[in-house]
Structure 1
Amino acid sequence: MSETILEPALPIVDPHHHLWDWRMRLAHLPPQTHPFDAILRQSPRYLLDELLADTGSGHNVIATVFVQCGAFYRASGPDALKPVGETEFVNGVAAMSASGVYGATRACAGIVGHADLGLGDGVAAVLDAHIAAGNGRFRGIRHMMAHDPDPVVLGPLAHAAPDLTTDPNVRKAVGHFAARKLSLDLWVVEPQLPGAADLARAFPDVAMVVDHVGTPLGLGKYAGRRDERFATWTASIRALAACPNVMMKLGGLAMPFVGFEGMGPDVRPSSSTLAELWRPYIETCIEAFGADRCMFESNFPVDRWGADYPTLWNAFKRITAGASASEKAALYAGSASKFYRLEI
């Protein structure tokens, strides 16, 4: 049974969702061996219709930001430029939404794409191609850097090389961001947070945001140790917060990597249950960064693994029930609008 929507008038900018269509690939996927595998089978198609069904499910979502997910790359041409196809596609979706035909929500008002930062100085041409393809909507890059030596931790997403935050070519590439006013989304897992802070200190003029509260871990060698590692995660979050160019996305806790018990595609916890599970991570981040440097995210459809869209936002609203009106305005819309330079 669906929950009553809490604070339904509160404006929300959802700064992190994906669009994809993996239906043709499902037949070629190997047998399910990792909890993440269930996500593609749970949501094989997530395009504008599915996004609007979620954003229109009761909460007042006024705009969204698309974040790269490796979908709709160009089928031909130079490998370095193939990810520009994703921006071309999403810009078309954004234009459809901006027409108003599909309602008041401005889907994909900002676009975060992918470029191989290993290209070093060669990334400049890719960035310029994204900017041109985005038609004024392109805001930055996410090169997924999440890595752990235990392959069980990340499963099918265990493809990033280690130590990308210190890689000389990556740093050369990030050196091209500031002049173009581009931001960097950082998806790293908890043990990598010190490296993210070091990268942020090296480029104080580049706006960065850490995805998914830094992804605390509870699978593989971390199973059963999440509470034990909370103090280490907290120290890393506070070190990141000391970097004024870094902001934090509050979400991603409905993914399987965190290892919460009683959560998954076949279990639908209430927003009250989710709020109590997530509260220590969310409140620690808000305390460290402040409301004006934090933004709630859906991370859909990935986070559908542990919660549906209305319940997820209800859980966030339960956590912030005691926040002031100005704090809520920042957490739910203002910080995201500021970081991604949205005109809404």
Structure 2
Amino acid sequence: MENETYIKYIDYYLPENYITVDDVFSSLDAKIFEEKNIDRDIFCSKFKKETRLDKISVLKKEDDLASIVFGMVDKLLKETRINPQEIDYLVCGNEVLLRHNNASIVHYIQKAFDFEKSTIIPLLQPCAASLFAMGLSKSLLDEEKKNMLILTACKWEQIEERFIDFTIRGDGIGLLLVGSDTGLLKITGWNSCNLGDSSYNKIENKAQGQDFRGGMISRGVSFIEETLRKFNLEKDEIEKVIVPNVRYDVYYDVYSHYLRMNPKLFYLDNVSNGGHICDIDIVRNLKDYLQNRKETKKHSIILYTPDVERTFDVNYHLVLLNNAT
């Protein structure tokens, strides 16, 4: 039997420093566009129209990532007054927190705040780590007043790294506190799926599929439908679907069409501001949605994200949230 766990605290950080989509495209090697036989300006204009991406949040070289994370954890402890000895698990949601300037920020945080009873858990699925951790909380937090602190961060050194064909990546930090006693929202269910087609085909010398993005979306739609059936949740019971800030058209036009859902169910308010910031998108969008949440008879919130590995294998995660009372 799964345990009852709750989201108790949510916070995120976006740097005030921004670049534009045009800045990113201007930095790219002209050969990228020449090889595809496309005009840079036309491609950029079409990309901005379809994705609605605009400002991309960027940490400056002089920004101290460790200090920013420290400040966020310090704020959490002061506002919740939680005893550091009650932090049982410290989840690290991205490799940058393990290896930054020859140090591990997550180990630093554990030592600095005397989380001596916490076990560090690296979950290296950057676009889905927070959802992954929420799901694991239902198995790991098996006693009263057990808590899990989830830290996730995204930082890219070179501007050229930010463009990944279908979106542009930004920088930011996310923080969640999940506990076995009551909180803001109850974690009602979690489902995940891992597809290893890409690696399997490479190792077995089999042909790869031609339409990777189309296949990824199609499987994502199927995954959502399968999960709703698993949770016995009807689509008209869904209050909001919190998704990553990858691009506007994918969720508003494509997912909504194939799922036969009202496109306004997808939370897309932050797409133009920040870029795609791994799973910080989900943390940020959930917090912002809750701050402006209106009274509704529906109380089921879905968190959904695909996670694409460097190998082009794909992971899917979905978390179901309900009101705590």
What band does the TM-score fall into relative to the shorter chain? 0.3 to 0.5
Higher relative contact order at CA 8 Å, sep ≥6: structure 1 or structure 2? 2
Q: Which structure's CA Rg is the greater one?
A: 2
TM-score, structure 2 normalization: 0.32
**Larger helix share, 1 or 2:** 1
Normalized per residue, the structure richer in strand is 2
TM-score, length-normalised on structure 1?
0.31
